Structure 1
Amino acid sequence: MENQKNRYKTKIGKKVYTIVGSESDMHMDAVATLVKNEFQSVKEMLPEIDDEQAAMLVAINAVSDQIKLQEKLNEINGETQVKE
């Protein structure tokens, strides 16, 4: 049952998106809220850009944040291995 796919609908900007995945509704609510907030923030900072450009900036920022977090995790894991 763990791999059961759920359909989750959310509106971001002017479009409704259906997200398919095995995560809980609570998880998808958190993801959707974060993306909506980031999208709105980009649109407020750069009102002249269209929704597609805003979405691309949100994606770029998300990947950048993911890389930074992975680097921190690698650093922490490296420090742990040195201590062992």
Structure 2
Amino acid sequence: MADDQSKKRTTVTIYGQQYTIVGDEQPSHINQVANYLDKRMKEYKAYNPYLDTTRLAVLTALNVVDDYIKLKEEVNKDKDSEG
């Protein structure tokens, strides 16, 4: 239980809903992540206005993870070419 008490609580708003995030990260980092997600959800909603929130969240997650994997592969490719 002592570990739970040392964790930071940060309240963020993503797509109009408030969430309390509990973890070790700094509130500034959590806010940056939440703001990025909120922005991306709003971008995808503009292109797909008929998506419900659940489908919008899944579409956004798929695209963000796709970006992450591509970036990770690029970084690994760059590391391999250096060595």
TM-score category, normalised to shorter length: 0.7 to 0.9
Q: Which residue of 1 aligns with 2:13?
A: 11
Alpha-carbon distance in 1 for matches of 2:81, 2:52: 44
Q: Which residue of 2 aligns with 1:64?
A: 66
Which residue identity is paired with 2:11?
K
Secondary structure (helix, strand or coil) at the match of 1:47 reads: coil
Which residue identity is paired with 1:13?
Y
Q: Residue 34 of structure 1: CA displacement?
A: 0.2
TM-score (norm 2): 0.86
RMSD: 1.5
TM-score (norm 1): 0.85
Query: After TM superposition, which residue ranges in structure 1, 4 or more long, deviate above 6 angstroms?
Result: none
Q: Deviations over 1:8-67 (max 9, x none)?
A: 111222322121211111111110110010011111111101011111011101110111
- Kindly tell me the number of residue pairs found equivalent between the two proteins: 79
Write the mapping of 1:30-69 to structure 2, written as runs, cut at 5 A.
30-69=32-71
Gaps of 5+ in 2: none
Aligned-pair identity in percent equals 33
Alpha-carbon distance in 1 for matches of 2:41, 2:20: 17
